[in-house]
Amino acid sequence: MKRVSLVAVLAVVACGDDGTTSNSATQGQTTGVTTSPLPTTGTSVPTSSATELDSDAGTMGATGGQTTTGGATTGGQTTTTGDISATGAMTTTTGGVMTTGGSTSTGADTTTGDMTTGNCQPGDTDTMGDVVKSYLWVANSDEGSVSKVDTQAVVEVGRYRTGPLGGDYAENPSRTAVSYDGRFVVVHGRQSGRSTVVAANQEDCVDANGNGTIETSANKDDLRAWGTDECVVWSIVHPFNNDIGGGPRGTTWSPGVFNKDTCQFEHPVVWVGYLPPQAATAHFVRLDGASGALEETVVINNWVVGDTSWGPYGAALDKNLDVWFTGLRGELFRVNTGMNPATFDRWVPQNFLQMYGMTVDPDGDPWFGPNCGEITTFDPVNEQFIGVPGTDACHRGLAADKEGAIWVADNSQCGVWQVDHKTNTLIQFHPLNPCSTPVGVSTDDEGFVWVVDEGGWVWKIDPLNPMMKTMLMVTGDHYTYSDMTGGQIKSVIQPQ
């Protein structure tokens, strides 16, 4: 299929973050298996509460702004103090659909528990377990907002501000992650250093003005002023280094414990990484999913491998509730959340590997979409990085579907790769048309694959019949990826 003429130009320049070019475009990843040194380890220390106020605070939630003190100590362990402020609630696109054929609040993270309970099941399902509703959340980087897309109807049903700074990339939201039960999305502003949570369902919103009505976005054109949308339930600002490279990016949820009596998860947590003002240091923090309160800070010392100007870049949960995250041109980390305090392991790829997009498949293996190089996976047992032959390109985000395939956005040819995650071999490349700069990839509750193009096109693909594609136009610049639907976390955490 013929692509728009802009594709050839973008394929050359889209090899770095934030529209910059990568200095690695010609290096690539070596085919086959490469080994890495044994991991080194470190620990974190839980963080106590404090009362510093966020100057942008609203009327709901906890108070505070996150502050961090202290330096590195021997063995990778650092003591930190401070807390995070949760502010209260803050939250036009042209549409059109085209179809083409052919952890707990304190201590370590906990397990999800037994989720089998007759008619009481987690998530938005009916009594037969069929999906009732599912949403894709698309960050609108230029507007400082996030769009909610109904994945079944393929329509944008709401739009919410993610911070008070507004458009012109002042907030610059990018990474989004959805909770296991689909009830909440967290959105991170890489320019403002802000993390904001929006409720998907009105029953989880807060009637802040007490008028008996939830006042919230009703459609794609209903973008409300910051502080007035009652489905924006909390927002905090991290003590990052005030550089776009250090802003919050890599993120995932941990489900919490499923309560059979209430049919809800209790104490879900959010993990997010950023660079603090301290040089050569990265923070990966655990937040209370209900309030944004800081629960623990994992301090990564010697953040010196690769490009130190970028903080933790991607993150995903595995079936043990451990969190994997990456540096853009650096190391792979695993936060061992079952430890109290949490510890971490780290691996350095022997060959240059720009780990741009990342995910973890249902078997627990991390995957990376290098920009540029071969699609790569990591074998945690043998501690090996394995490249997929025939996939050398400039990649972005990626996701694993329910059929055992990895889907990876490709800016070089403007489309999406499909890879067998069992054999680490290429299945097929699928072009998209129209196409500009595909960035985000995610899978929804029903198993459909979603690809979000920075230029505004949002694609829904049937993995069993990839020729069947549905396209939705969502206005804005969508530099958005990570677990935009909650599909990644659901693929690794299954009901018992």
DSSP 343-405: EEEEE--SS-----EEEE-TTS-EEEE-EEE--EEEETTTTEEEE-TT--EEEEEEEE-TTSE
The whole-angstrom separation of Cα 267 and Cα 248 is: 22
Percent pLDDT > 70 in the chain is 73
What's residue 294's pLDDT? Answer: 98
| Of 9-13, 286-290, 447-451, 477-481, the least confident | 9-13
- Is the pLDDT reported for residue 333 higher than 60? yes
Quick one: pLDDT band at residue 330, thresholds 50, 70, 90?
Answer: confident
What's residue 120's pLDDT? Answer: 54
The whole-angstrom separation of Cα 415 and Cα 73 is: 46
What's residue 180's pLDDT? Answer: 94
Question: Average pLDDT, stretch 6-19?
Answer: 37
The whole-angstrom separation of Cα 394 and Cα 375 is: 9
Adjacent-strand bridge partners of 286:
271, 296
Tokens read off for 478 = 């969508």
Helix, strand, coil percentages for the chain (3-state, nearest 5) = 5, 35, 60
List pLDDT tens digits, range 71-96: 333 333 333 323 333 333 333 333 34
What's residue 439's pLDDT? Answer: 97
- Contact at 8 Å (CB) between 329 and 370? no
What's residue 493's pLDDT? Answer: 86
What's residue 132's pLDDT? Answer: 73
Domain membership flag for residue 206: yes
Q: How far is CA 101 from CA 222, 419, 457, 459, in A?
A: 32, 22, 17, 13
What's residue 373's pLDDT? Answer: 92
Question: Average pLDDT, stretch 258-269?
Answer: 88
Domain membership flag for residue 56: yes
What's residue 96's pLDDT? Answer: 47
Domain membership flag for residue 1: no
- Kindly give, in sequence order, each residue whose CB lies less than 8 Å from that of residue 399, ignoring residues fewer than 6 positions away: 359, 406, 407, 441, 442, 443, 449, 483, 487, 488
Question: Average pLDDT, stretch 455-481?
Answer: 95
What's residue 108's pLDDT? Answer: 62
Domain membership flag for residue 45: yes
- Contact at 8 Å (CB) between 91 and 236? no
Tokens read off for 20 = 């910059």
- Kindly give, in sequence order, each residue whose CB lies less than 8 Å from that of residue 221, ignoring residues fewer than 6 positions away: 92, 93, 159
- Is the pLDDT reported for residue 385 higher than 90? yes
What's residue 351's pLDDT? Answer: 76
- Kindly give, in sequence order, each residue whose CB lies less than 8 Å from that of residue 394, ignoring residues fewer than 6 positions away: 11, 14, 15, 22, 25, 371, 372, 410, 411, 412
List pLDDT tens digits, range 272-297: 999 999 999 999 999 999 999 999 99
What's residue 63's pLDDT? Answer: 31
Adjacent-strand bridge partners of 364:
none
What's residue 54's pLDDT? Answer: 31
The whole-angstrom distance between residue 112's C-alpha and the CA centroid of its chain comes to 20
The whole-angstrom separation of Cα 128 and Cα 133 is: 14
What is the DSSP-derived secondary structure letter of residue 125?
A: B
Higher pLDDT, 34 or 181: 181
Domain membership flag for residue 2: no
Number of structural domains (the chain) is: 1
List pLDDT tens digits, range 143-179: 999 999 999 999 999 999 999 999 999 999 999 999 9
What's residue 404's pLDDT? Answer: 82
Taking phi over 0 as left and psi of -120 to 50 as alpha, with beta for the rest, 10 belongs to alpha
- Contact at 8 Å (CB) between 261 and 289? no
Question: Average pLDDT, stretch 228-241?
Answer: 98
Question: Average pLDDT, stretch 431-446?
Answer: 96
Higher pLDDT, 108 or 128: 108
The whole-angstrom separation of Cα 15 and Cα 369 is: 11
What's residue 52's pLDDT? Answer: 27
Taking residue 218's Cβ as centre, other Cβ atoms within 10 Å add up to 11
Question: Average pLDDT, stretch 364-381?
Answer: 95
What's residue 298's pLDDT? Answer: 98
Percent pLDDT > 90 in the chain is 66
- Is the pLDDT reported for residue 379 higher than 60? yes
CATH of the domain at 472: 2.130.10.10
Going across the sheet that includes 145-150, the strands are: 135-140, 145-150, 155-161
Quick one: pLDDT band at residue 238, thresholds 50, 70, 90?
Answer: very high
The whole-angstrom separation of Cα 274 and Cα 251 is: 10
Domain membership flag for residue 88: yes
- Contact at 8 Å (CB) between 349 and 358? no
Tokens read off for 424 = 């680490």
| Of 104-118, 331-345, 370-384, the least confident | 104-118
Domain membership flag for residue 51: yes
| Of 3-17, 124-138, 367-381, the least confident | 3-17
The whole-angstrom separation of Cα 178 and Cα 138 is: 11
> 363: domain range?
7-492
